[in-house]
Amino acid sequence: MSVKLHALQAFVAAIEDGSLRSAGRRLGYSQPALTKMIKDLEFELAAPLLVRNARGVIPTEQGRLLLEHARRVQTELVQARQQIAQLGGVMRGELRISACAAALARLVPQALRSFAPEFPGIRLQVSEECHVEQIEKLRNGSSDVAIAALPASMADDEFQVHRLLGSRMAVVARRGSAQARASALRELADANWVHLGTGAERACARSLFDAAGLDVEPVDVAVNTTLALISLVAHAGYVGLIPVECLGNAMAEGTVQTVALPLPDLSIKIGALVRVHPLNGLANRYFMAHLHRAAQLLARDGERRLHAA
């Protein structure tokens, strides 16, 4: 099989644009030339890849499968070029970071404070994601580093796991509400709960109810941003679980408050995940060094505050 890279590029462009003519213009090919490339691709794979309809072209089931792999190939090629340049001393490229809310509150800013000035040629793309999305992005190559709340057991075979620092969750409710005045978790058993993601943060919600002896599943909503969580707590009467690092932003508006409850251990571990790859770029490795240094600084700062209290 001799699938050509420019044919894959033409195939991806045709699907993204929904039109062979538009894709041809974008890539600098005539429509007949682009059509021939895709037909050659279909011949090589012995499968139909595109179907014409009134609005243009759409992928077949086989085409959707190829699209996933073709995009991954394109991403890998871009990364290869960047990593080869970095090995030659040219520190340029892109670093894509997905982070959980707890990491975005202090850890990621602390790391970028030193990393960004040292490597101004590295474009940074930072997004807040829940655990499931972080893992999927690492797997499909659309993220380089995931800084996540680690589950209780995390195998090191699929990803390199860098354990960084601990955190804990707090319960918040709308300021002045009946939920905010609760003195026992049983009083919140019938409340609507909101938490971040579906990973370690969700496990905290379950352990909260287990520790109180409540054999019910909290009626809950999972969101992937702190803004969404705070909005549901402040304006829809939800009770929320939020990392303590995010409390400052959440309480600054004066619309939410922590609920003074006797709580079980709601600690979480924050760590960084990277794909197990023999040629992880230098930018990636340098960022991990800055991330570890930031975690150490924050841990020491936390110890000083504890002793001062």
Tell me the C-alpha distance between 225 and 241, whole Å: 12
Confidence of residue 291 (pLDDT cuts 50, 70, 90): very high
| 151 and 44 together in one domain | no
Residue 215 in 3-state DSSP?
coil
Least confident of 43-52, 231-240, 272-281, 293-302: 272-281
> Which residue in 73, 119, 69 sits closest to 94, CA to CA?
119
DSSP 50-111: EEEETTEEEE-HHHHHHHHHHHHHHHHHHHHHHHHHHHTT---EEEEEEE-HHIIIIIHHHH
Give the rounded percent of residues in the chain with a pLDDT score beyond 70: 82
137 and 63, same structural domain?
no
Residue 308: pLDDT band with limits 50, 70, 90:
low
CB 171, CB 256: distance < 8 Å: no
Give 252's pLDDT tier (boundaries 50, 70, 90). low
The whole-number pLDDT of residue 212 equals: 66
User: Do residue 66 and residue 119 come from a single domain?
Assistant: no
Tens digits of residue pLDDT in 118-164: 888 888 999 988 888 888 888 888 888 999 888 777 666 778 899 99
CA distance 168 to 265: 8
Residue 296's nearest CA partner among 192, 162, 135 is 162
Average pLDDT over the chain, rounded to an integer: 82
Same domain flag for 185 and 229: yes
Shared-domain flag, residues 101 and 169: yes
Q: Are residue 186 and residue 118 in the same domain, yes or no? A: yes
Are both 13 and 141 inside the same structural domain?
no
Q: Range with the lowest mean pLDDT among 122-131, 172-181, 254-263?
A: 254-263
For the ranges 5-9, 90-94, 167-171, 273-277, the lowest mean pLDDT is seen at 90-94
Q: For residue 140, give the nearest of 273, 8, 275 by alpha carbon.
A: 275
E strands in the chain: 50-53, 56-59, 93-99, 122-128, 145-150, 159-174, 193-196, 220-223, 239-243, 256-258, 267-275
pLDDT in tens, 47-70: 898 988 878 888 999 989 888 888
Q: Are 202 and 267 members of one domain?
A: yes
Asked if 197 contacts 216 with a C-beta cutoff of 8 angstroms, the reply is no
254: exposed, middle or buried (C-beta count within 10 Å: 0-12, 13-18, 19+)? exposed
Residue-wise pLDDT for 70-129, tens only, equals: 888 877 777 677 666 666 666 677 889 999 888 998 899 999 999 999 888 888 999 988
Which tokens go with 54? 């009134």
Range in 40-54, 136-150, 241-255, 290-304 the model is least confident about: 241-255
On whether both 108 and 219 belong to a single domain, the answer is yes
Three-state DSSP at 157 gives coil
Higher pLDDT, 198 or 114: 114
Q: 59 lies in which domain range?
A: 5-84
For the chain, what percent of residues have pLDDT higher than 90?
18
Distance, CA of 101 to CA of 248 (rounded, Å) = 12
Closest of 122, 226, 125, 116 to residue 170, by C-alpha:
226
